[in-house]
Structure 1
Amino acid sequence: MFLSWNQWVLAQEQPNIVFILSDDAGYADFGFQGSKEFKTPHLDKLAMQGLRFTQAYVSAAVCGPSRAGILTGKYQQRFGYEENNVPGYMSVSGAIGDDMGLPLNQKLIAAYLKEEGYKTALFGKWHMGNADCFHPTKRGFDTFYGFRGGARSYYEYDQNNKLIKKENRMERGFGNFEESELYLTDALADATTKFIEENKSQPFFVYLSFNAVHTPMEARPDDLDKFPNLEDKRKTLAAMTLGLDRACGKVINKLDELGLRENTIIVFTNDNGGPSDTNASSNKPLGGTKANHLEGGIRVPFVMSWPTHLQENTVYTHPISTLDLFPTFYNLAGGDEKQITDLDGVNLIPFVTQKYKNRPHETLFWKKEVRGAIRHHDWKLIRFPDRQAELYNLAEDIGETNNLAASNPEIVKELYKRFFEWEMTLERPLWMLKHLYEKKAIERLDTYRNNNIHHN
């Protein structure tokens, strides 16, 4: 039985917070999301022990900006972090190279939680800037074991697996570079369980930021052996996902072993849609891939579990955003999220405990330079640089196959106006892609559509 809202408020003590983020996973590539091919027993059990969200969104269709939104609780475009990874193939008109990163005038959730007495840790991928000034230990994290960049090998760098970039070396704390002989997904789980053991007597915040299942496509041989009926990238992805699930299980089991599970809220989600065209992930029944604004690029698996506080084996169907994690975590820690006036996320607890019956968000936005999207209620408008906008009714067409723009001009006009009003509140981008790469993004979308679905 879960507590009512009033009972929860009266009984509240600072819970531990474990936030687990996977990288480039497909929407459909988990057992709790319906997969019959992939094996994810630990995450399936977590979903049974909590809430599964069917309409969870990220704030960007690529990983860096999505993570910036999570860490700040606001649309990253509001502080100039356009929907482009750092560093990248940028125009010389803005910040380039190591000058690119999550702006230093933004205070991150880790810093807020430290002020509430939490021990804070980041394990895994950072991708918020390579320069020392952007380092996690200077942004509110007491502990860091991971790498500064956006992707790296799952195996140690040595004479056989040669390191190219400093930002992809494993680092413990600040400036202490080392390598592990373990498969990286396992190494991150081991570091997390050690941190939990060492900090079990005080509230802690763990951001377990896996690079799994991002490329390179590297899996443990024993995990590959468990999928004899799959082939090529799909087989490797299944094995990598099994490794991800095993790592999550290690962390959850450690909480159980230490008697911390009932006072720990766990959230598992993914940073953007699966890049099915590069890693063979599946976003079905959604259309689209990572890097575009179809549902398959921005809707993600999402599980929240907190025994005795949140009802088990429940499905929450209203749209939410990963922007909501910041105010939710801060509120649980004892802070007043309403005092932070520029947050775009909302505290989800009163919604999932049914104190509030309405939607957490009436409207959600996405923007990458000229491209953009708005969801208002169940209508979604997608803006393109080279063609007319498209309109979909997500309540009736989750796969976005029936473009209703021509038959609903007034709705198109209304959503354009809402999008423009929001766009006028944003900062100019601190950096932008060369046009060549935006062209490639459009071509990628068209290739996906030509290979998968026919649009009216």
Structure 2
Amino acid sequence: MVLPIKKHFSRKSLLTVSIILIQLLGGSQTVSANQSKGSEKPNILFILSDDAGYADFGFHGSKIMKTPHLDDLAEQSMMFKQAYVSAAVCGPSRAGILTGRYQQRFGFEENNVPGYMSKNGTTGDKMGLAIEEVTIADYLKELGYTTTIIGKWHQGNADEFHPLKRGFDSFYGFRGGARSYFEYDENNPLDRPENGLERDFEQFEESPVYLTDAFADEAIATIDKANHSPFFIFLSFNAVHTPMEAKPEDLALFPELTGKRKAAAALTISMDRAIGRVLKKLEESGIAENTLVVFTNDNGGPSDTNGSVNSPLSGTKANHLEGGIRVPMLIRRPGHIKSNSTYNFPVSTLDLLPTFYSAAQGNTGHLKNIDGKDLMPYLNQTSKERPHQTLYWKKENRGAIRDGDWKLLRFPDRPIELYNIEDDPSEMIDLALKYPKKVRNMYKSLFNWELTLARPKWQLLREYEGKAMKRMDTYRILNDIQIQAKSL
């Protein structure tokens, strides 16, 4: 007798069932099958910086920022010239990374900031990564990986969204979007990995280590405890996000700088030093050759708030110009990816989930409803095609689409703009009037994609001139877009 599958089964439950069935049937991509072949799965170290400027790394040409350890990593890696995030702000961007899906598909379109994204915090802690979504940690855990997240979470403060309920075996960090690098903050306490959902109200206060160093210490300890099983470590720094709290000795390294720029340089070198310590631990442990290492950033630098620089790209964090959505990215995997090389076609951080899953010897055909692509066939030149012909971005009634080398931007308060990114990465020459047919076709493609998205789960409410002003919800936005599209 075959029992029907209930409609309320989650994607995570179905994933678990499918993997068990594959194992029972002797599938070639299971853990047991791979072990029987003597194959060795790589460890995965994913390092994410926060709000860093595109130009603020030595490997991207900076003569001001000091990043010697990341520069060394770049020489051992493939550098991506056109790596994009799926959102220009950190919460949605991280949701896309964790799921491999455009986060607008499940309503995570805005940063989840209690008290700001909802009037008087009425939505409060109920804003987070939808619990039915399957995360990268869920997938890797099913393939036999020990999964750890260290640092910033920003996917929901409530316990239902806690990393230990999202596929991670351990968590050391804070749940919100930002916190002090120095001082204990009971609104954003550090969670002890061994205590699960118990919040830590004493550890950081009693041992006031600098936060960036604390995260590196925890990553090193996690590597020590790996015990020969493959691990996935998501090292999620909050550097160089505000508050601009740097160590005095690091500030002293940049006497020629002042203000936020000086603090950004100090935060950057501190993070670089911490990354260097973790990479050195991989070497000392003899596992660097079998560890896939990825470094990238969660969105463009917010030049106004942290002194970051995105040059030669225009724009900043929170907008869809290149400076808001194009990020540095390095991938190192000895024996699989050519060192000191570059990749020039556009890729997305949505691609990290299927790339990690493939590296872990999972069958990417088992991944359902994802938008990312396994990059390995492109990086090892098995495929010479573009991983993505088209990429999309949306936040409220702003949107952007990149198709090949062309990029269209839609604004609520001015005409559409069109750029050839290959010829004009700084987006200085608007070609919309010169190519009206291309504008029309790309606009309609963007609109058709938006029709596949979910309604945002929380909306911006704030007091302005004594009145509550609520931005248009998705249905009103799409209605207006449809009217405009029909007029093209």
Distance 2:365 2:121 in 1: 33
Distance 1:172 1:93 in 2: 30
The alpha-carbon deviation at position 332 of structure 1 amounts to 1.1
Deviations 1:376-417 (A, max 9, x none): 001101111111111111011111111111111111100111
Residue 125 of structure 1 contacts residue 210 of structure 1 at CA under 8 Å; is this kept in 2? yes
Give the aligned length: 424
Partner residue of 2:450? 423
Partner residue of 1:234? 261
Residue 64 of structure 1 contacts residue 86 of structure 1 at CA under 8 Å; is this kept in 2? no
Give, as a single letter, the amino acid of the residue that structure 2 aligns with 1:420. F
Distance 1:60 1:392 in 2: 19
Give, as a single letter, the amino acid of the residue that structure 2 aligns with 1:317. N
The alpha-carbon deviation at position 85 of structure 1 amounts to 3.3
Residue 59 of structure 1 contacts residue 366 of structure 1 at CA under 8 Å; is this kept in 2? yes
Give, as a single letter, the amino acid of the residue that structure 2 aligns with 1:215. T
The 3-state SS of whatever aligns with 1:124 is: strand
Residue 202, structure 1, aligned to residue 252, structure 2: no
Partner residue of 1:169? 189
Give, as a single letter, the amino acid of the residue that structure 2 aligns with 1:36. K
Give, as a single letter, the amino acid of the residue that structure 1 aligns with 2:73. L
Moved over 4 A (4+): 9-12, 91-95, 435-439
Distance 1:318 1:394 in 2: 11
Distance 1:276 1:217 in 2: 13
Distance 1:94 1:361 in 2: 39
Q: 2:310 aligns with which of 283, 288, 292?
A: 283
Distance 1:83 1:104 in 2: 17
The alpha-carbon deviation at position 200 of structure 1 amounts to 4.2
Partner residue of 2:140? 113
Q: Which has the higher contact order (CA 8 A, sep 6+)?
A: 1
Q: 1:339 aligns with which of 344, 351, 366?
A: 366
Q: 1:323 aligns with which of 343, 346, 350?
A: 350
The alpha-carbon deviation at position 341 of structure 1 amounts to 2.4
Distance 2:378 2:80 in 1: 12
Partner residue of 2:428? 401
The alpha-carbon deviation at position 333 of structure 1 amounts to 1.0
Deviations 1:56-102 (A, max 9, x none): 00000000000000000000000111133343522569982111100
Distance 1:94 1:280 in 2: 30
Residue 82 of structure 1 contacts residue 432 of structure 1 at CA under 8 Å; is this kept in 2? no
For structure 1, the residue ranges without an aligned partner over 5 or more in a row are: 1-8, 158-162, 440-456
The alpha-carbon deviation at position 181 of structure 1 amounts to 1.3
Distance 2:120 2:111 in 1: 14
Residue 125 of structure 1 contacts residue 150 of structure 1 at CA under 8 Å; is this kept in 2? yes
Distance 2:461 2:317 in 1: 19
The alpha-carbon deviation at position 431 of structure 1 amounts to 1.0
Residue 86 of structure 1 contacts residue 127 of structure 1 at CA under 8 Å; is this kept in 2? no
Residue 74, structure 1, aligned to residue 101, structure 2: yes
CA pair 424-73 structure 1, distance change in 2 beyond 3 A? same
What are the within-5 Å matches in structure 2 for residues 242-257 of structure 1?
Answer: 242-257=269-284
Larger Rg: 2
Residue 112 of structure 2 contacts residue 156 of structure 2 at CA under 8 Å; is this kept in 1? no
Deviations 1:327-348 (A, max 9, x none): 0001111211222220100001
Q: What TM-score, normalized by structure 1, do the two folds share?
A: 0.90
Q: What TM-score, normalized by structure 2, do the two folds share?
A: 0.84
The 3-state SS of whatever aligns with 2:378 is: helix
Residue 299 of structure 2 contacts residue 326 of structure 2 at CA under 8 Å; is this kept in 1? yes
The 3-state SS of whatever aligns with 1:415 is: helix
**Identical counterparts, % of pairs:** 61
Q: Which moved more, 1:126-135 or 1:304-313?
A: 304-313
The 3-state SS of whatever aligns with 1:194 is: helix
The alpha-carbon deviation at position 156 of structure 1 amounts to 3.0
Distance 2:470 2:349 in 1: 25
What are the within-5 Å matches in structure 2 for residues 128-143 of structure 1?
Answer: 128-143=155-170
CA pair 255-224 structure 1, distance change in 2 beyond 3 A? same
Distance 2:362 2:114 in 1: 33
Residue 293 of structure 1 contacts residue 373 of structure 1 at CA under 8 Å; is this kept in 2? yes
Residue 26, structure 1, aligned to residue 53, structure 2: yes
Partner residue of 1:442? none
Residue 84 of structure 1 contacts residue 368 of structure 1 at CA under 8 Å; is this kept in 2? no
Residue 86 of structure 1 contacts residue 101 of structure 1 at CA under 8 Å; is this kept in 2? no
Residue 180 of structure 2 contacts residue 243 of structure 2 at CA under 8 Å; is this kept in 1? yes
The 3-state SS of whatever aligns with 1:291 is: coil
